[in-house]
Structure 1
Amino acid sequence: MGGKGRLFCFGCGYSARVLASRLKAQGFEVAGTCRTAEGAARLRAEGIEPFIFGNDHPLADPAAALSGTTHLLISTPPTEAGDPVLAAHREAVKAAAPEIRWAGYLSTTGVYGDRQGEWVSEETPLDPNVARSDRRASAEREWQELAGESGLPLHIFRLAGIYGPGRNQLKGVMDGTAKRIVKEGQIFSRIHVEDIANVLEASMAKPNPGAIYNVCDDEPAPAPEVVAYAAELLGRPPPPEIPFEEADLSPMARSFYMASRRVSNARMHEELGVELSYPTYREGLKALLATL
Structure 2
Amino acid sequence: MPHMLIIGMGYTASRLAARLGEEGWHISGVRRSADADMIAFDDDGAVRAAIAQASHILSSVPPEGDADPVLARYGAAIAAAPAIWSGYLSSTGVYGDAAGAWVDESSPVGLGRRAARTQADAHWGALRSDMRRFRLPGIYGPGRSALDRVREGRAHRIDLPDQIFSRAHVDDIVSGVVASIRQGPPGVYNLSDDLPCAQNRLIEEACAMLGQPLPPLLTLEEARLSPMARSFYAENRRVANGRAKRLLGWSLRYPTYRDGLRACA
TM-score, normalised to structure 2, is: 0.96
Give the structure 2 partner of residue 47 of structure 1: none
Which of 14, 19, 32 is the matching residue for 2:11?
A: 14
Name the counterpart of 2:94. 111
Structure 1: distance between partners of 2:103 and 2:51: 36
What amino acid is aligned across from residue 262 of structure 1 in structure 2?
A: R
Instruction: Find the aligned partners of 1:123 and 1:91 in 2 and give their Cα distance.
Output: 28
Q: What's the counterpart of residue 202 of structure 2?
A: 226
Unpaired runs of 5+ in structure 1? 45-49
- Partner of residue 85 from structure 2, selected from 82, 90, 102: 102
Q: What is residue 83 of structure 1 aligned with on the other side?
A: 68
| Equivalent residues in 2 for 1:169-180, closer than 5 Å | 169-180=146-157
Could you give the per-residue CA deviations for residues 144-165 of structure 1, whole angstroms, max 9, x where no partner exists? 2222xxx4x1011100000001
Q: What is the 5 A alignment of 1:198-217?
A: 198-209=175-186, 211-217=187-193
Maintained 8 Å contact 1:6/1:71: yes
Match of 1:24 among 12, 21, 25: 21
The answer to whether the 8 A contact 1:51-1:65 is kept is no
Are the aligned partners of 1:187 and 1:222 in contact in 2 as well (CA < 8 Å)? yes
Q: Does 1:51 align with 2:39?
A: yes
| Equivalent in the alignment of 2:103 | 120
Partner residue of 1:143 out of 120, 124, 132: 124
Which secondary structure does the structure 2 equivalent of 1:32 belong to? strand
Q: Is the 8 A contact 1:51 1:59 kept in 2?
A: no
- How big is the shift at 1:244? 2.5
Are the equivalent residues in 2 in contact too, given 1:58–1:88 (CA < 8 A)?
no
How far did residue 81 of structure 1 move? Answer: 4.0
Q: SS where residue 178 of structure 2 aligns?
A: helix
Higher alpha-carbon deviation: 276-285 or 17-26: 17-26
8 Å CA contact 2:95–2:103 kept in 1: the answer is: yes
Partner residue, 1:252: 228
Matched-pair contact (CA < 8 Å) for 2:60–2:88: yes
After superposition, give the CA deviation of every residue in 1:13-47 in whole Å (9 maximum; x if it has no partner): 1101111111111111000111124xx24xx2xxx
The percentage of aligned residue pairs carrying the same residue is: 44
1:86 Cα deviation after fit = 1.3
Q: Is the 8 A contact 1:62 1:92 kept in 2?
A: no
CA distance in 1, matches of 2:44, 2:254: 37
Q: Distance in 1 between matches of 2:193 and 2:228?
A: 23
CA distance in 1, matches of 2:229, 2:147: 18
Give, as a single letter, the amino acid of the residue that structure 1 aligns with 2:91. T
TM-score, length-scaled by structure 1? 0.87
Work out the CA distance in 2 between the residues paired with 1:190 and 1:251.
20
Instruction: Tell me if 1:163 matches 2:148.
Output: no
Please say which of residues 87-96 and 248-257 is displaced more in the overlay.
87-96
Q: 2:39·2:47 contact (CA, 8 Å) conserved in 1?
A: no
Superposed CA deviations along residues 98-150 of structure 1, whole A, max 9, x for unmatched, are x21211111100111011111111110113421xx211110011112222xxx
Using the alignment, how far apart are the partners of 1:62 and 1:95 within structure 2?
Answer: 14
- Looking at structure 2, the residues matched to 208 and 278 of structure 1 have their Cα atoms a distance apart, in angstroms, of 24
Please give the residue correspondences for 1:254-269 in structure 2 after superposition, counting only pairs within 5 Å: 254-269=230-245
Q: Distance in 1 between matches of 2:48 and 2:110?
A: 36
Aligned-partner Cα distance in 1 for 2:181–2:52: 19
Aligned Cα root-mean-square deviation (Å): 1.4
Q: Distance in 2 between matches of 1:270 and 1:114?
A: 26
| 2:44 counterpart SS class | coil
Distance in structure 1 (CA, Å) of the matches to 2:230 and 2:11: 23
How many pairs are equivalent? 265
